[in-house]
Amino acid sequence: RAVLDRIEAVDARIGAYLTVDAEGAMAQAEAADQRLAAGNAVPLTGIPLGIKDLLCTRGLRTTCASRILENFIPPYDATVITRLKAADAVLVGKLNMDEFAMGSTTEHSGFQVTRNPWNLDCIPGGSSGGSAAAVAADMCLGALGSDTGGSIRQPASHCGVVGIKPTYGRVSRYGLVAFASSLDQVGPLGKSVTDCAILLDAIAGHDPKDSTSVPEPVPDFSDIATDGLAGVVVGIPREYSTAQGLDPQVGRAIEAAVKTIESLGARCVEVSLPHTDRAVAAYYVIAPSEASSNLARYDGVKYGFRDKTQSDLMQMYRSTRSQGFGPEVQRRIIIGTYALSAGYYDAYYGKASQIRTLIRNDFTTAFESCDAILSPVAPTPAYPIGETLDDPLTMYLSDIFTLSANLAGIPGISVPCGFSDAGLPIGLQIMGRHFNEAMLFRIARQFE
């Protein structure tokens, strides 16, 4: 009830929710109360959560913040939703995002802009901007987001909350509306590292319905070692401190965070990720290519929006997709279709895939001499709404620190580590070896 009241009081100004399921949430809360009274509570019993609107929820509208799915009501739950329900959580509603998760600002939603709770004139980050803003503004106690190139970590950083992108394959993608299937991962955003660990415990694990989910055992993530960082070696990538466009305020906050980590007993070493400067180019070929293929299903025939005024089939496709998709999504489809055109494979998708392997190898080498790698999440604190709306290239370049983890498939967490001069939160990114989320939680926990 408190969370619903809070949404009522502040969401008109923030714009985090696309759908609030007040009735459903109260019914789930009452069931949770009963379980509590019966002494059967588990860690998530009765905990109100928000869900990024690209995870299918049975009977509850799932739009991907796109006009083309405006009235889509899924007939099934995503596996992560099934697991949260089984863990007694209360699902409050569906959260705004950049359309189909394409963007870094949540301005590219087909329905509304979400504002940063720390400064309503600024972006909350994206694409899981609704998730981060809702957690930051107490409109839920935790949320699920998705991260294809930074979409959990970057909004978490801009909104002063914690967000983790798990290892690719750690969490089922069944029922996650696909953007770029080889990069997409579902993960939690929360107010604390421990909250994120509890949420990841609930959603992680092998799922026979997702052939890329990995049958690795899931440790108890919430059992985080609290005995300092003695014996831990953290790597600082040489290439990141000279990255183009790094705001000195972010640089200072990260340096201070590194000192804190050292003071707790960790040893810092310099590492090298030499192909970092190719990550943006590789990602912005691979992600749009996969997107152009995944989004071919929205044709006005099978489900979703259709321009019913057209009688000619080709005209109907064209008009449905022109009206149903926003400008950023259309841009990606066009880039991806071009890159995958016959005869262009070697020059674009093939080349980008080779760079992807080099980036993955960079991490393998770096992790021979350290347990985790520290970096900024975003090159700048949250910036004013509108600043990159007509400048997609600048928006793409701001993904420089987060894309590599998706290309390599490794886990990355964002944890608040300081503030800009204007009082906006700054996040520290910690990346780790495949399936070593526990190390990220252990280091991040020191910042609570």
Residues contributing to the site for ligand GLN (CB under 6 A): 101-104, 127, 147-151, 179, 287, 399
Closer to ligand GLN by Cβ: residue 80 or 102: 102
The secondary structure of residue 48, as a DSSP letter, is: E
Per-residue burial over 8-24, b = 16 or more CB atoms within 10 Å of its CB, e = otherwise: eebbeebbbbbbbbeeb
- 130 vs 143: CA distance, rounded Å: 9
Closer to ligand GLN by Cβ: residue 22 or 397: 397
CB 56 within 8 A of CB 62: yes
Half-sphere exposure of 311 (CA within 13 A, CB side): 0
Beta strands 17-20 and 90-95, pairing class: antiparallel
The CB-of-131 to ligand GLN minimum distance in angstroms stands at 11
Locate the DSSP E strands across 173-232. 185-190
Closer to ligand GLN by Cβ: residue 102 or 261: 102
Crossing angle of helices 437-444 and 193-203, in 10° steps, is: 160
Give me the residue label for tokens 């980036």: 359
- 9 vs 11: CA distance, rounded Å: 6
Closest CA to 90 of 30, 35, 25, 36: 25
The CB-of-388 to ligand GLN minimum distance in angstroms stands at 11
Closer to ligand GLN by Cβ: residue 240 or 396: 396
127 is catalytic: yes
**3-class SS of residue 166:** coil
Strand partners, 27: none
- 185 vs 167: CA distance, rounded Å: 8
The secondary structure of residue 3, as a DSSP letter, is: H
Which one of 128, 151, 172, 404 is the catalytic residue? 151
- 49 vs 51: CA distance, rounded Å: 7
Angle 395-398-404 from CA coordinates, rounded to 5°: 120
Which one of 66, 127, 128, 146 is the catalytic residue? 127
Residue numbers annotated as active site: 52, 127, 151
